[in-house]
Amino acid sequence: MLQVRDRLCDAAAKCATVTCKRKGNAVKLTELAHGGGCGCKLGPAVLRDLLADQPVGQMFPQLLVGNAESDDAAVWRIDDRTCVIATTDFFMPMVDDARDFGRIAATNAISDIYAMGGNPIMALAILGMPINVMDAATIRAILGGGAEICADAGIPIAGGHSIDAPEPIYGLAVIGICAPEDLRRNGGAQSGDKLILTKPVGVGIYSNAIKKGTATAEDIAEMVATCTTLNRIGQDLSTRPEVHAITDVTGFGILGHGLEMSRGAGLALRVDRAALPLLDRAAELAASGHRTGASDRNWDAVEADTRLPENMTPAERDLLTDPQTSGGLLVAVAPDKADDVLAQIRAAHPRAAIIGEAVPGTGIEVV
């Protein structure tokens, strides 16, 4: 299996700059998709409506986490020592480099396992490609990029499924394991807990700049670097009893995923906007009108439960609703251990920051 992964990674390196062909003309990956990354997700309100009458698994006592909760993955308890964690994530390209698309999609998919405190053990590939438009070398580069990240995570891509699709789609279904006592859900925050965000925000804004052709090479490199950094720190944090809750911040933005944490804990979250780590040009690009349609959907879903400062500009609000792809972990930790946990996180994620706290009440207050 390692030899297979090595060959795939070698192929990815050779194919990374390959372009697609449409009637003899080069075409960018992002031109083949109506959206990209986690900005493609259905809005929270739409998703809640679609799932409202779906069975929630009460007949299965071993199902510790299912679709009744807004958590990051499903969890099945095998016995007193082992839980199985299962998740799936896939999306359309947010970058034009095929290898980077594969790397970002794989990093994003594996993140849900880490967010639950788990150890990933295996992945299955999910692939949909417009075969009449994309050449084989480009598709191999996407697959090779995904295999590269899985190799970094120490897991095999053991199989998968592919279809001919009108837009390029790639992602993974990932299986992980953890001890029951190490499982971390998004609803375990306690009053007074400090909130740590491990990665900077602004990926959706940068993705929009890429699609518009206004992103610089430095912008793209910065975004790809953060989106291909594995959130394996979540597995390490899960063994610390002072870490009470973990979730990863993806398509619903910091407000959407923060509200899921708030509701799960029965507490309010107070978020300090000045403390929020940002990609270098996120504020500048937001102020110049770079945003995704998902920002409005995300705001519509949280507006009734969110209190904003009166002087907040629309661009500043967009930073809070910006859909993240392969975003950071939002961690709730006991206040007396927050600095120690932050130091541990910064060894892997140097831009991590304490961005707020959990307090009595409901919803989210931005200060």
Which residues are annotated as part of the binding site for ATP?
41, 69-71, 89, 112, 160-162
Residue with tokens 């700049």: 209
- Active-site residue, from 9, 20, 38, 227: 38
Note the Cα 11 to chain centre separation in Å: 26
Q: Tokens representing 147? A: 């295999």
Q: What is the DSSP string of 261-282?
A: HHHHHT-EEEE-GGG--B-TTH
Contact 317, 308 (CB under 8 A): yes
H or E segment to which residue 50 belongs:
helix 44-51
Separation in Å, CA 312 to CA 226, 308, 318, 341, 345 = 27, 7, 10, 30, 30
Q: What is the DSSP letter of 132?
A: T
Pairing of strands 169-178, 119-129: antiparallel
Contact 298, 47 (CB under 8 A): no
Q: What is the DSSP letter of 81?
A: S
SS3 30: helix
- CA–CA gap between residue 82 and residue 107 (Å, rounded): 24
- CB-based contacts of 50, cutoff 8 Å, min separation 6: 42
- For residue 137, which of 259, 277, 21, 305 has the smallest C-alpha distance? 21
Q: Tokens representing 155? A: 């897991």
Output the known binding site for Mg(2+). Answer: 72, 112, 248
Q: What is the DSSP letter of 3?
A: H
Q: Is 83 a catalytic residue?
A: no
SS3 188: coil
Catalytic residue numbers, as ranges: 38
